[in-house]
């Protein structure tokens, strides 16, 4: 019997992704770590499986399988390679704005290609001068006849170097109604990319900077109306960004537990395996407890989303607890490994570095707590997850 709320179909999908990750992704992890380059080949292979289209409707060639299915795909890939889990989550997040705010023409134009993996979308909101403070952004779009002219910079854009179309949110006016979203194809004149800079972890994943200099795009590339940019950024972040990063952290969390259990059973101390020591058992129990709690919150939140139940606070809480507990378990895993955890030929060191990459995107822990405080104080605005007519 699958664990609630999973169905038999979910379990079959999980096994399919797990087998794929073992066969196609695992053998490439060491090379990604060593070169620190953007991994294009495996990313393309993952996209080809159709998994970026997990929540894209079947009428556009997507899987139409829902958010829980999407969570399982990201989780299983992240368990083997958090970097490749990040690749798929970033483009699923990039698709969100077209799914929700695209017009019929934009959906027909882009979603089938995203679903079959031939087009990777991104979302570009963050700027060097504005992270969590989204309204602090300064990049602009100015209407000139049937075109917009874009200027500014966007940083930490997931899949920047492999993205085919960037979903940029920029200023078309002042204040919270002054943001708008646009699709910018990667080969547009006036759009350039800074070279890939390897980060602490997620090696193989590209998280780069876009530069827009007098970049002209047709007005038909605008997503939604002028002024919808903040709603597009927030709704994408709550409905896709939060649960996607929750899923990446869940995959990392599972891998931390698996690696640490393996280590504790193999390592011999005091005439038996390390796992026989009561303190080590206590720590393993803590890790397992955190993992089970994180998984239940993650699955429950996206199950509500699939059911059409308003659940913004559940999605936010699942991200907060999922990331915090995975980071706690990363520390526990390092304690159990002791000196061996510092060796770069062991996966644990990589997983610990990767775990830190789930903290900032889709809202840091502080931002999640601010949103949850609003829930406690009864000050929430309408839920992005509430059904729309």
Ligand X SMILES: Cc1cc2nc3c(=O)[nH]c(=O)nc-3n(C[C@H](O)[C@H](O)[C@H](O)COP(=O)(O)OP(=O)(O)OC[C@H]3O[C@@H](n4cnc5c(N)ncnc54)[C@H](O)[C@@H]3O)c2cc1C
Binding residues (CB under 6 A) for ligand X: these are 90, 122-126, 131-133, 156-158, 202, 207, 357, 360-361, 364, 366-367, 370
Q: How far apart are CA 112 and CA 102, in angstroms?
A: 13
State the nearest-atom distance from the C-beta of 96 to ligand X, in Å.
11
State the nearest-atom distance from the C-beta of 93 to ligand X, in Å.
6
Nearer to ligand X, 87 or 287 (CB): 87
Nearer to ligand X, 14 or 353 (CB): 353
> H or E stretch including 259?
helix 242-266
Q: Which two tokens stand for residue 16?
A: 């399919």
State the nearest-atom distance from the C-beta of 168 to ligand X, in Å.
9
> H or E stretch including 287?
helix 278-307
CA distances from 278 to 273, 300, 328, 378 (A): 11, 33, 19, 45
Query: Which residue is nearest to ligand X, using beta carbons?
Result: 131
Nearer to ligand X, 131 or 251 (CB): 131
Q: How far apart are CA 20 and CA 37, in angstroms?
A: 22
- Sorted by sequence, the CB contacts under 8 Å of residue 225 that are 6+ apart come out as 180
State the nearest-atom distance from the C-beta of 333 to ligand X, in Å.
20
State the nearest-atom distance from the C-beta of 109 to ligand X, in Å.
22
Give, in degrees to the nearest 5, the angle at Cα 122 between 121 and 126: 165
Nearer to ligand X, 125 or 257 (CB): 125
Q: How far apart are CA 121 and CA 94, in angstroms?
A: 5
Q: Rounded to 5 degrees, what are φ and ψ at 227?
A: 100, -10
> H or E stretch including 370?
helix 365-376
Q: How far apart are CA 270 and CA 293, in angstroms?
A: 33
Nearer to ligand X, 224 or 361 (CB): 361
Nearer to ligand X, 243 or 304 (CB): 243
State the nearest-atom distance from the C-beta of 202 to ligand X, in Å.
6
Beta bridge partners of 217: 148
Nearer to ligand X, 25 or 362 (CB): 362
Beta bridge partners of 185: 165
Q: Which of 163, 119, 149 is nearest to 217 (CA)?
A: 149
Q: How far apart are CA 37 and CA 276, in angstroms?
A: 41
Question: How do beta strands 207-218 and 147-158 pair?
Answer: antiparallel
Helix (DSSP H) and strand (DSSP E) numbers for the chain: 12, 10
Q: Which of 52, 50, 26, 28 is nearest to 39 (CA)?
A: 28
Q: How far apart are CA 26 and CA 21, in angstroms?
A: 6
State the nearest-atom distance from the C-beta of 292 to ligand X, in Å.
25
Nearer to ligand X, 96 or 111 (CB): 96
Give, in degrees to the nearest 5, the angle at Cα 162 between 95 and 193: 105
State the nearest-atom distance from the C-beta of 381 to ligand X, in Å.
16
Nearer to ligand X, 71 or 275 (CB): 71
State the nearest-atom distance from the C-beta of 248 to ligand X, in Å.
9
State the nearest-atom distance from the C-beta of 66 to ligand X, in Å.
22
Nearer to ligand X, 124 or 301 (CB): 124
Q: How far apart are CA 306 and CA 268, in angstroms?
A: 47
């Amino acid at each position: 019997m699958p664990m609630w709320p999973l169905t038999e179909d979910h379990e079959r999908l999980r096994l399919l992704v797990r087998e794929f990750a073992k066969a196609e992704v695992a053998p490439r992890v060491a090379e990604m770590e060593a070169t620190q380059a953007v991994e294009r080949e495996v990313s393309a292979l993952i996209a080809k499986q159709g998994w970026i289209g997990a929540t894209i409707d079947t009428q556009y060639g997507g899987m139409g399988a829902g958010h829980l299915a999407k969570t399982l795909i990201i989780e299983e890939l992240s368990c083997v390679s958090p970097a490749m889990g990040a690749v798929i989550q970033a483009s699923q997040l990039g698709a969100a704005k077209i799914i929700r705010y695209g017009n019929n023409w934009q959906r027909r134009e882009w979603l089938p290609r995203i679903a079959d993996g031939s087009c990777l979308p991104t979302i570009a909101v963050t700027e060097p001068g504005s992270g969590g403070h989204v309204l602090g952004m300064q990049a602009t779009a100015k209407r000139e006849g049937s075109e917009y002219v874009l200027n500014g910079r966007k940083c930490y854009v997931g899949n920047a170097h492999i993205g085919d179309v960037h979903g940029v949110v920029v200023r078309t006016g002042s204040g919270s109604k002054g943001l708008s979203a646009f699709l910018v194809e990667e080969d547009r004149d006036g759009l350039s990319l800074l070279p890939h800079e390897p980060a602490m972890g997620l090696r193989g994943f590209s998280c780069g900077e876009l530069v827009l200099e007098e970049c002209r795009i047709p007005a038909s590339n605008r997503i939604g109306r002028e002024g919808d940019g903040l709603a597009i950024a927030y709704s994408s972040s709550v409905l896709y960004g939060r649960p996607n990063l929750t899923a990446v952290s869940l995959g990392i969390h599972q891998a931390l537990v698996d690696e640490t259990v393996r280590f504790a059973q193999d390592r011999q101390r005091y005439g038996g395996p390390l796992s026989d020591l009561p303190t080590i058992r206590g720590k393993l129990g803590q890790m397992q407890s955190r993992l089970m709690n994180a998984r239940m919150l993650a699955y429950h939140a996206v199950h509500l989303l699939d059911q059409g139940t308003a659940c913004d606070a559940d999605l936010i809480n699942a991200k907060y607890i999922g990331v915090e507990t995975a980071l706690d378990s990363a520390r526990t895993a390092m304690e159990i490994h002791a000196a061996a955890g510092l060796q770069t030929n062991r996966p644990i060191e990589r997983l610990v570095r990767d775990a830190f990459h789930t903290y900032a995107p889709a809202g840091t822990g502080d931002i999640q707590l601010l949103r949850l405080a609003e829930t406690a104080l009864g000050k929430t605005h309408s839920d992005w997850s509430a059904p729309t007519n």
